[in-house]
Amino acid sequence: MDLKTNTIAGWALGAGIVALGSAIVGNMLFEGHRPEKMGYAIEGVEEAGGGEAAAVPIASLLPTADAAKGAEVFKKCAACHTINQGGANGVGPNLYATMGEAIAQGKGGFAFSDALKSVGGNWDFDKMNAWLTSPRKFANGTKMTFAGLGNAQDRANVILYLNQQGSNLPLPAAPAAGAAAPGAAPAEGDVAPKGENAEEVGARGNTADIGNTGTPASGAPSIDPEAARKGARTE
């Protein structure tokens, strides 16, 4: 090889060594630091699964909700909806006095989707919470393209604001702290003996303390068997 060829080969080999070294150093620096969630969140789009809606009852958030903050959240809806009394329908229906109304009915003849009409019932707090969490999950096939509000407190705020616009339904009672969910198993010690109900157990009083030997419960008067036999002979 001539000098020129050797020089080119040397530069190529050196560049390869530098690239390999950079890759090794980069792996050492970033190893073990992979972010927990890839990508970035988009405001107004709920995460898949809708777990927050299921985990947080809306009734527990409404007592501390802020209607003024709800009015700010509602600005996201104002492009399609009016909310003033007598307001015109737009891309979406006017929302004055919506809480408590029949779902997908009235509203000056607005053309609701068949999907929303099929839901039935009235707009209560739970239904509105589910709708605002994910319209598509609440009424599969709805014409509403809004992705939903992923933040539960934002939903509570805007629901309170909606309720104040011509509806004023009484707020639902907040769930008691530590209250067992419907259908939950009773706590240990609260279960009546098999085959008996609570009334039967209560009617027996202290007889549950009586063993197979016939010994009375603690505190009950004792009976002398010999005295009982003597009394029987005198009758």
pLDDT in tens, 123-175: 999 999 999 999 999 999 999 999 999 999 999 999 999 999 999 999 999 88
**Residue 92 maps to a domain:** yes
Whether 87 is in a domain gets the answer yes
Residue 88 lies in a domain: yes
In this prediction, the residues of the chain whose per-residue pLDDT falls under 50 are 30, 32-54, 180-223, 225, 227-228, 230-235
In a domain, 159, yes or no: yes
Which tokens belong to 208?
């549950």
- Per the CB < 8 A criterion, the answer to whether 71 and 161 are in contact is yes
102 by DSSP, 3-state: which?
A: strand
Number of domains forming the structure of the chain: 1
The CATH number for 101's domain is: 1.10.760.10
Instruction: Residue 68: give the domain boundaries.
Output: 51-164
Distances (CA, A) of 50 to 123, 131, 132, 140: 20, 12, 11, 15
| Domain membership flag for residue 176 | no
Which segments of 3-66 does DSSP mark as H helices, in order? 3-30, 51-55, 58-61
